[in-house]
Structure formats: C-alpha cells, structure tokens
C-alpha cells in the first residue's frame, strides 16, 4: 500500500523504513494542511503526527486524492475532526499506547530538574562555578502529588511518585480499577491539596484550559505544574500571571498551545514572534521541552509496530484494533 507520511523527521524515516516491507512509503517533511493534502495523491493512507491538521477541509481533500485510512502515529487525536472523517468514510487509527513509561518518566525528569535545578547547576559547573546559592530544592518524599487523568500514562506517573514516597491524589471522571489504588478526589480537592500536579488527561472540550486564572487561584500557593499532555490544557497567559505572583511556583511544559508554529524545528536563527512563549522562556522556574516526552527507543518501536498493525487491519478489511 502507498502511504504518505507527513511531518516526517529523520528518526521517523529510520524506524519506519525498517518496517516498510512490500509497502511504498512516501516521506514528506511538510506538515499536513489543506495546501499540502494534494501531496498524498495516489496514496491510500496518510500517516500523521500531533501537529498535522485534519480539519474537515483537509479530510475532504484527502478523500478526493484517494485516501481511505488516516493512521495517526501518536495517541492523542484532538487534531482530527472525527465526525467529518466518519461522514467521509475515512478510517482513523491511532497508537493508543506505545510506552506510557516514556511520557511518565519524562514528566518525572522535568519535575526533578525544576525542583533540584539541575538545568542551572549544569551550566554553572561547566563555567567552574560550584556555588550552591539559588539551587535549593525540596524533598518530594511526603509531598502531595495530583494526577489529572489516570489512563496508561497517568497511572505510570502515579506509581513512580508513589514509589518516591509521595501521597498521590488522582482525578478522573472514568477511573480504571488500577486508579482506585490511589486516592480518588474531585478536581477541587486536587487543586487545593497538591504541591505538584501533573496533567495526563486528553485535550477535550471540558479539559481545555483546565488550568486558567480561576484554577490557578484555587491551587496551593507555590505549587508545581507539569504538562506533558497537550498545550491547551493550560492557559499560558494565565500561567505567566500566576508565575509573576508566585502562586505558581514552577512550571514544566513539554507541550504548548501554539506549538505547531515552532516545535519540532530549529528556530534558533529566526525571530520567534510568540511573546507568550518567549516570556515563559525567561523564567528561571519554567522548563520547556519541545514535545519530546514520547521520544525513546522503546516508544518509537511501539509506534511503528502499532501503526503497521493498523495498516494490516485496514488491508485485511477487519475492524481496526486501534480505530478511533
């Protein structure tokens, strides 16, 4: 089958080429937008990533070009107009789990970096400065950690924090059996009680700007917020205001609401126009990574394996195991 891969990076090519077999893979650097949809002409499937845009308009164009399968090589599918895809008869599959540990461990890495200021210590020591001033952190042991979303990633994160001796509160409208080993609370209690909060819920209408001016105020003063979920879970302007007053003590972001214009590319020689992002980058207590939480060997192998299974299901005409 001929498959057009959008937003392809060298590492995608490297991993997917090994699994190509009889298929014909067309690796495009372009992100999927209405103007790049015609590049999929003659392809029965497109393989897309988090910042590709699968709006109704784009899906109509893809359908017109002969595409019948949208294979997301990621878990979240907030960038796809699912209703439009259904109406157009397009099958949509995703990679629901590909090492939840990759994302959970990155969330922990960000938390520990911010808390123990290893990002600052690293630079200092390289300059021969062994001064400790400004590097004081806090013990995570005994702290209360809140987790929004107890799916595969949230549970993996909660277990790690539990292992570090934290009290773990979880919040999820549809908690799994596994989630019940932790203290299930409502959002209000989570805001109020937690020293650290990590976001692992999907971006939906009711989770859009889950952290906003109001919820920042309801939170424990000086708390730490970790977002490896989706950028729009946090109102970044409200976060800046909360950082300026100290209400938000630390912020880690692997994702950013407007990331599609900047992330996954080298912007170091250009002028970044996004003043909110630039302001966030000036805080010593904010840590930003460019949507890399998923990026481990194990996760990439998992993404390729499940995507190939999805393509095989489609070709066999059976129900997609990972259909959306």
Residue among 143 and 230 whose Cβ is closer to ligand NAI: 230
Residue nearest ligand NAI (C-beta atom): 151
Residue 201 lies near ligand NAI (rule: CB under 6 A): yes
Residue 76 lies near ligand NAI (rule: CB under 6 A): yes
Backbone angles phi, psi at 248, to 5 degrees: -100, 115
Interface stretch with ligand NAI, choices 129-137, 145-153, 216-224, 264-272 (CB under 6 A): 145-153
8, 36, 79, 207: residue in contact with ligand NAI (rule CB under 6 A): 207
Region of residue 317 (phi > 0: left; psi between -120 and 50: alpha; otherwise: beta): left
Q: Dihedral sign, CA of 5, 293, 263, 124?
A: negative
Q: Coil, strand, or helix at residue 153?
A: helix
What strands lie across the sheet with 24-27, from one edge to the other? Answer: 24-27, 2-5, 45-48, 69-72, 91-93
Round to whole Å and give the CA distance between 155 and 182.
9
Residue 100 lies near ligand NAI (rule: CB under 6 A): yes
Indicate if 120 belongs to the active site: no
Residue 230 lies near ligand NAI (rule: CB under 6 A): yes
Best CA proximity match to 303, nearest among 288, 322, 290, 318: 322
User: CA-based Rg of the chain, rounded to a whole angstrom?
Assistant: 21
- Locate 267 and state its tokens: 């912007």
Residue 202 lies near ligand NAI (rule: CB under 6 A): yes
51, 59, 145, 154: residue in contact with ligand NAI (rule CB under 6 A): 154
**Please, are residues 71 and 45 in contact by the beta-carbon 8 Å criterion?**
yes
21, 89, 128, 173: residue in contact with ligand NAI (rule CB under 6 A): 173
Shortest CB 44 distance to ligand NAI, Å: 26
43, 94, 151, 224: residue in contact with ligand NAI (rule CB under 6 A): 151
Residue 91 lies near ligand NAI (rule: CB under 6 A): no
Kindly name the residue from 44, 230, 257, 260 that is annotated as catalytic.
Answer: 230
Shortest CB 227 distance to ligand NAI, Å: 9
Neighbours of 83 (CB within 10 A): 10
Kindly name the residue from 61, 94, 106, 291 that is annotated as catalytic.
Answer: 291
Shortest CB 78 distance to ligand NAI, Å: 7
Q: DSSP letter string over 74-114?
A: SS--TTB-HHHHHHTT-EEE----S-HHHHHHHHHHHHHHH
Round to whole Å and give the CA distance between 79 and 76.
8
Residue 153 lies near ligand NAI (rule: CB under 6 A): yes
Residue among 93 and 103 whose Cβ is closer to ligand NAI: 103
Shortest CB 9 distance to ligand NAI, Å: 14
52, 172, 195, 313: residue in contact with ligand NAI (rule CB under 6 A): 172
Indicate if 291 belongs to the active site: yes
Interface stretch with ligand NAI, choices 33-41, 119-127, 130-138, 168-176 (CB under 6 A): 168-176
61, 91, 94, 291: residue in contact with ligand NAI (rule CB under 6 A): 291
Best CA proximity match to 49, nearest among 21, 87, 8, 11: 8
Residue 101 lies near ligand NAI (rule: CB under 6 A): no
Residue 303 lies near ligand NAI (rule: CB under 6 A): no
Residues 6 or more apart whose CB falls under 8 angstroms from that of 187 comprise 148, 171, 215
CA 164 from centre of chain: 24
List contacts with ligand NAI (CB under 6 A): 75-76, 97, 100, 103, 148-154, 171-174, 200-204, 206-207, 228-230, 254-255, 291, 293-294
Kindly list the catalytic residues.
Answer: 230, 259, 291
């Amino acid at each position: 089958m001929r498959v057009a891969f959008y937003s392809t990076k060298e590492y995608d090519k490297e991993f997917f080429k090994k699994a190509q077999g009889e298929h014909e893979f067309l690796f495009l650097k372009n992100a999927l937008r209405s103007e790049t949809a015609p590049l999929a002409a003659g392809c029965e499937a497109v393989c897309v990533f988090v910042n590709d845009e699968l709006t109704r308009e784009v899906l109509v164009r893809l359908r017109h070009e002969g595409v019948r399968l949208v294979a997301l090589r990621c878990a979240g599918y907030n960038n796809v107009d699912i209703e439009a895809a259904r109406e157009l008869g397009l099958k949509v599959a995703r990679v629901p789990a590909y090492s939840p540990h990759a994302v959970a461990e990155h969330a922990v890495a960000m938390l520990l970096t911010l808390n123990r200021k290893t990002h600052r210590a690293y630079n200092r020591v390289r300059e021969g400065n062994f001064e400790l001033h400004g590097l004081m952190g806090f013990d995570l042991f005994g702290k209360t950690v809140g987790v929004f979303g107890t799916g595969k990633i949230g549970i993996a994160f909660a277990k790690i924090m539990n292992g570090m001796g934290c009290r773990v509160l979880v919040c999820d409208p549809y908690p799994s059996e596994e989630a019940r080993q932790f203290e299930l609370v409502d959002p209000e209690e989570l805001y109020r009680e937690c020293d650290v909060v990590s976001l692992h819920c999907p971006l939906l209408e009711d989770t859009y700007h889950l952290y906003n001016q109001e919820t920042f105020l309801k939170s424990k003063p000086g708390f730490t917020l970790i977002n490896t979920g989706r950028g729009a879970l946090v109102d970044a302007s409200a976060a800046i205001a909360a950082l300026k007053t100290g209400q938000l003590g630390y912020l880690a972001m692997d994702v950013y609401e407007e990331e599609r214009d900047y992330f996954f590319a080298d912007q170091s020689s250009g002028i970044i126009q996004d003043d909110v992002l630039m302001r966030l980058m000036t805080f010593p207590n904010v840590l930003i990574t460019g949507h890399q939480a998923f990026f481990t060997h194990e996760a990439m192998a998992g993404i390729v394996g499940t995507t190939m299974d999805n393509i095989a299901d489609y070709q066999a005409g059976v129900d997609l195991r990972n259909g959306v």
